[in-house]
Amino acid sequence: MTSLAILLIGFSLFSALSLAFTHFRSDQYKVHERSRRMGQVLLVCLCILQVAHFVWLHLDLPWVQTLLYRMTLFSVAPTFYLFSQPLLKPDVSPTYHPAMLAHVLPLIVVPFLPSDLALPLAFIIGAGYLLWLGRSLYVLRDDREDFFREMMILGVVFGIAIGVSLLGLVQASLQGKLFFSLYSIAIGIAFFLVHTALGLRPQLPAEVSETAQAAYGNSTLKNVDCENALLRLEALMTSERLYASPELSLPILAEQLGLSTHQLSELMNARLGKGFSRYLRERRVMAAKIALCNEPSASVLSIGLCVGFTSQSNFYEAFREIEGTTPGQYRKLQRNGESE
């Protein structure tokens, strides 16, 4: 058990570093900067916990009894809440506001709590945040087919978190280092599952946010000529190649169409069956496919940049997600098909 825990601690630290550089980039969270920052803080908190677990399990140094460990433990759930809230709740303020201080209050009282009470209380508070998360995700139940695999994976992560919370309540009765071994393993498995979900759908946070925005509120399309708006959208993409602008975002496109961001988000989800992020990636990949065939001398990277992607990694992620292969492999297959 301890050996598995140490192995997954190492995996967690590597995963946190990987997510920081590959997922929590500014281009992935253009309209959710607060979520990006809170996601980075969450990674740091989990790394601190895992390092403390390693030092305790492998070196027998009781870092899990330090004030830093307890404060970090109390920070995980509020930080995850502040990361998730803008993604799952439409109309939430994208900036920081005084009400957020309420989530810091547990940290203020931690230094005054005895260690045998601090850990169970931290997991009780964490369970409360998990209930909020479960309630927020429930609103997406009608869209579960669109996110079936990803929601199943996140559901397992949710189940692991609930299990750890329950173990935290009785951790004092568990023998030796068993609880911290199990906690380390749980964090490692959660990292693996998150990597799997993002591998299947790199833009998952943005797409969940758009779906939640459309699912929560009342319809904003009552006074909108939807057919005309869709025709104008198609014209902007076909004639003006608006998708090729790397700076294109939901607010910018909504302004071009004379709609609010909520109206455009609902229009796309209701009429096209996809959110803005997915729609934009599909348009760019469609244009890239044509260019890959028509411009055999152009490099793959130049084509990706020409259709609006900001980096080769973004281009490859989107192309593989939509076509199931890389741009280079797609071009090669098309050439082989033409020569036969």
Is there a single domain that holds both residue 309 and residue 183? no
d(CA 329, CA 307): 18
What CATH number is associated with residue 187? 1.20.1070
Is there a single domain that holds both residue 128 and residue 257? no
What single-letter amino acid sits at 74?
Answer: F
Please report, rounded to a whole number, the percentage of residues in the chain having pLDDT higher than 70: 80
Is there a single domain that holds both residue 121 and residue 171? yes
Is there a single domain that holds both residue 100 and residue 238? no
Between 100 and 264, where is the model more confident?
Answer: 264
What single-letter amino acid sits at 26?
Answer: S
Residue keyed to tokens 């429930």: 138
* 233-248 confidence digits (pLDDT tens): 999 999 889 999 988 8
Is there a single domain that holds both residue 149 and residue 62? yes
What CATH number is associated with residue 331? 1.10.10
Answer with the one of 255, 273, 291 that is the final residue of a domain: 273
* 21-70 confidence digits (pLDDT tens): 888 877 667 667 788 888 899 999 999 999 999 999 999 999 988 999 98
d(CA 307, CA 288): 6
What single-letter amino acid sits at 73?
Answer: L
d(CA 53, CA 49): 6
Is there a single domain that holds both residue 62 and residue 197? yes
Is there a single domain that holds both residue 203 and residue 253? no
* 172-211 confidence digits (pLDDT tens): 667 778 888 988 998 898 888 888 877 766 666 766 666 6
The answer, yes or no, to whether residue 266 has pLDDT greater than 90, is no
The answer, yes or no, to whether residue 96 has pLDDT greater than 80, is no
Which one, of 217, 292, 306, lies nearest residue 262 by Cα?
217
Is there a single domain that holds both residue 198 and residue 226? no
Q: Which long-range contacts (CB under 8 A, 24 or more apart) does 167-174 make?
A: 167/123, 168/119, 168/120, 168/122, 168/123, 168/126, 169/120, 169/123, 169/124, 171/119, 171/120, 172/116, 172/119, 172/120
- CA–centroid distance for 101 within its chain: 24
Report the range out of 87-91, 149-153, 310-314 with the highest average pLDDT: 310-314
Band the pLDDT of 9: cuts 50, 70, 90.
very high
pLDDT at 190: 87
Three-state SS sequence of 178-220: HHHHHHHHHHHHHHHHHHHHHHHCCCHHHHHHHHHHHHHCCCC
Answer with the one of 194, 210, 226 that is the final residue of a domain: 210
Q: What's the mean pLDDT when you consider all of the chain?
A: 81
Is there a single domain that holds both residue 20 and residue 110? yes
Is there a single domain that holds both residue 47 and residue 164? yes
Answer with the one of 210, 238, 262 that is the final residue of a domain: 210
Torsion of CA 315, 321, 322, 323, to 10 degrees: 90
Structural domain of 162 = 2-210
Question: Lowest-pLDDT range, 20-24, 57-61, 144-148, 162-166?
Answer: 144-148
Is there a single domain that holds both residue 35 and residue 131? yes
Is there a single domain that holds both residue 193 and residue 222? no
- Report the domain count for the chain: 3
